[in-house]
A and B are shown apart, each in its own frame.
Chain A
């Protein structure tokens, strides 16, 4: 990003603010206090992806701790906050449990409301008019396009997020994961499975 020339008032010259930011970075790097790589890593994490791992930890805890799961389904906001993931926008979190007969799918038909403290930044497709409309009108077709074919006897429930209520799907724990600990389980939980357009990963063949 140091080679970037955008935003200057004159061709080639940085704005005052850019100059100040570059001056700080160059002094910090020169003094060996931090590296541009360390800064790059933080920027990448915040630009892309601060969150899905937070949601994965919530799900893994619910898979391993029945008490926590009960609390999570009853009062998602409090149970998620207990793990340290606050909703900086003050939204109410509702957690939806997938079962052998019910599959939950989350959308925001109005804009792109999204539980970012647990899921990070929304994927591009989540914000497209096509997803927002079709998740409601033909959810099974949308799921099929994501590679998720559900049997006919599974009911699909679609939940429309709003500024006040954000939804997180609690996917079913994959079979064959009985021996796994919380951290290993969290690694199986994908962002898509917590939106409801996918399933958790299946552990590598044991």
Chain B
């Protein structure tokens, strides 16, 4: 299963392809690798087929590119922002998290009320 998902990830070709420089994956901040790791790990575990996530990702990337002129983000930061949004939508779609708990938990980390992931 894990191999098949890795292959699906590596084979993404269009606007949804992972950002690379000279063939190497580009991560500009730990959160970007973490977001990638979560999406792949959950699909590895069979929580959703990779294509489900990919559809959300393609939609988010398309939406972000319309806003791109106003954004000062690097390509990798813009891409992984879309990735994160796709992951949130996928999990909300599947009913794995509720919008309220996600919002509450995010606010706790943003304010420093919660620091550890565990």
User: Closest Cβ of chain A: how far from B92's Cβ, in Å?
Assistant: 11
B38 interface residue (CB < 8 Å to A):
yes
Chain B contacts with A in 76-97, Cβ cutoff 8 A:
80-81, 84, 87-88, 91, 96-97
Once A1-B34, A88-B17 are accepted as A-B contacts, the answer to whether A38 and B44 lie under 8 Å apart by CB is yes
B42 and A34 contacting across the interface, CB-CB below 8 Å: yes
A38 and B41 contacting across the interface, CB-CB below 8 Å: yes
User: Closest Cβ of chain B: how far from A85's Cβ, in Å?
Assistant: 7
> Whose C-beta in chain B lies nearest to the C-beta of A91?
B23
B41 and A88 contacting across the interface, CB-CB below 8 Å: no
A36 and B118 contacting across the interface, CB-CB below 8 Å: yes
A84 interface residue (CB < 8 Å to B):
yes
User: Closest Cβ of chain B: how far from A118's Cβ, in Å?
Assistant: 10
Measured in the bound complex, the distance between the Cα atoms of B40 and A38 in whole Å is: 10
B106 and A19 contacting across the interface, CB-CB below 8 Å: yes
B35 and A27 contacting across the interface, CB-CB below 8 Å: no
Candidates A22, A111, A112, A114; contact of B117 at CB < 8 Å: A22
User: Closest Cβ of chain B: how far from A21's Cβ, in Å?
Assistant: 4
- Give the contact stretch, choosing among A2-10, A137-145, A146-154: A2-10
A7 and B105 contacting across the interface, CB-CB below 8 Å: no
Measured in the bound complex, the distance between the Cα atoms of B102 and A116 in whole Å is: 36
B68 interface residue (CB < 8 Å to A):
no
Instruction: Specify which chain B residues have a CB less than 8 angstroms from the CB of A33 in the assembled complex.
Output: 42, 45, 47, 96
Instruction: Specify which chain B residues have a CB less than 8 angstroms from the CB of A26 in the assembled complex.
Output: 105, 109, 114, 116-118
A2 and B117 contacting across the interface, CB-CB below 8 Å: yes
B23 and A28 contacting across the interface, CB-CB below 8 Å: no
A7 and B22 contacting across the interface, CB-CB below 8 Å: no
9 further interface pairs, Cβ-Cβ under 8 Å (given A24-B35, A29-B117, A34-B38): A7-B30, A23-B105, A25-B117, A28-B42, A31-B96, A33-B47, A38-B41, A45-B6, A122-B23
